Amino acid sequence: MSLQQAAAKRSTHRVSRHVARALTAGACLGVLAGCSLFGKENKHPPTELKPVAATLSVKQAWTVDVGKSGEYVMAPVASGNNVYVSSRSGNVMAIDGNSGRTLWKAKTDVDLTSGPGSDGSVTAVAGEKGVVYAFDASGKQVWKKQVNGEVLSAPLVGNGLVIVRTTDTRVLGLDAQTGERRWIYQRSQTPLNLRAAMGMTFAGDGVVMGFPGGKLGVLAPGNGVLRWESAVSYPKGVSEIERLNDVTGQPAVNGRQVCATTFQGRIACLELTNGQPQWGKDFSSPTGVAQDDTSLFASDESSTVYAFDRQNGNERWKNDQLRYRTLGAPTALGRSVVVGDYDGFVHFLSREDGQIVARMKTDGSAISAAPVVAGQTLVVQTRDGDVYGFVPN
């Protein structure tokens, strides 16, 4: 091969890689946004809903309008009895989960790209060009910080920190009171990754988060040092798109166990203290997992919902009655597993056998983010910006 031919081959590879990245990052802002991967049309029509013989009583307690999400996922977050929400246009709100009363409302001076993070005392959101805002318990803006990178994931707030991750694989620990940077963690970029929100959570004295390439890790909140990193799954295939293998959603922590799932990879549980694998099995989820004391819940790319035994990964049940309805991330609540779909329906599935035990209608727009629980109320946010409070009996 001549030098010219080799250079042309390298150039073609770079172009194809950039095209692949554009397909992921441009045509679809991530599976969590409720669109099909790589801009391809869904060839499968959504399953038509059948009437539900409800065995669980659910009532709508309240609704509030915060504003549309646009192309981003604006996931609500709960702290105690309160829930915090945001919109693309810069609205940030605190709502009493029991009554639906607006506790405070703020407005940022740029459009937002992430949902909020909050510990009840400090609430943080991220906007265009990596601007991070923090508000106190009364809704007053206390600082504004530029992190020089796009932020799609909701900040994680707690332990005196606002932890922010950018799409170029940096994680920053900011002082919750001043916004000053305490530490930064940087990792090498993968050739291709999902341009989507990737959740983080506090667990013990660590910060658990997923990374591109199927990795799960724990950072020390005091200095950002990586304590351990372990593979949930490994890339497969020949092309970069086939090898796309990112942890999706927020890792689920219960006791000394942390579980996660990847796109085009596996679902797995690991030992929280050191990342030692406990079990894993082939699985592909665009939205992540939820768990209770006995089971792990996730939906696959076809929107079939599964329950797995937390201890060994054995399948407990699956429900395919919602296939191709582009389900959002699940939430475990009482005797139910709750998921929203592309058409604004909220489905309550029995945790025992997966049967649909109740269904509620919202405004008809997609519910991409996981519902959250504020006090006794289940809270969901639609992409058209309506926030609903439901109370199961």
Q: Measured at the alpha carbon of residue 345, what is the angle toward residues 344 and 349, in degrees to the nearest 5?
A: 145
In tens, the pLDDT along 334-382 reads 999 999 999 999 999 999 999 999 999 999 999 999 999 999 999 999 9
Q: Which amino acid is at 157?
A: V
**Which tens digits make up the pLDDT trace of 189-213?**
766 666 777 889 999 889 999 988 8
Predicted model pTM: 0.88
For the chain, the helix, strand and coil percentages under 3-state DSSP, each to the nearest 5: 10, 45, 50
> Domain for residue 370, yes or no?
yes
Q: Is residue 336 part of a domain?
A: yes
The answer to the question of residue 8 being in a domain is no
pLDDT of residue 188: 79
pLDDT band at 42 (very low <50, low <70, confident <90, very high): low
75 domain-assigned? yes
Measured between alpha carbons, how far is 185 from 207 in angstroms, rounded to an integer? 12
In a domain, 161, yes or no: yes
| CATH number of 197's domain | 2.130.10.10
Distance CA 56, CA 249 (A): 27
Q: Is residue 363 part of a domain?
A: yes
pLDDT for the residue 18:
32
Establish if 25 belongs to a structural domain. no
Above 60 in pLDDT, residue 41? no
List pLDDT tens digits, range 99-141.
999 999 999 999 999 999 999 999 999 999 999 999 999 999 9
Q: What is the dihedral of CA 114, 120, 122, 126, to 10 degrees?
A: 0
Q: How far apart are CA 302 and CA 293, in angstroms?
A: 26
Domain for residue 19, yes or no?
Answer: no
Residue bearing the bigger pLDDT, 32 or 133 = 133
Q: What is the per-residue pLDDT for 19? A: 30
- DSSP letter (8 states) at residue 112: B
pLDDT single digits (tens) 232-250: 998 887 787 887 889 999 9
Q: Is the pLDDT of residue 393 over 90?
A: no
Mind listing the pLDDT tens digit for each residue in 255-278?
999 999 999 999 999 999 999 999
Count of structural domains, the chain:
1
Q: Indicate whether 3 pLDDT > 50.
A: no
How much is the pLDDT for 32?
37
Is there a contact between 166 and 130 (Cβ–Cβ < 8 Å)? Answer: yes
Domain span at residue 103 reads 48-392
Sheet with strand 305-309: strands edge to edge: 289-291, 295-299, 305-309, 315-319
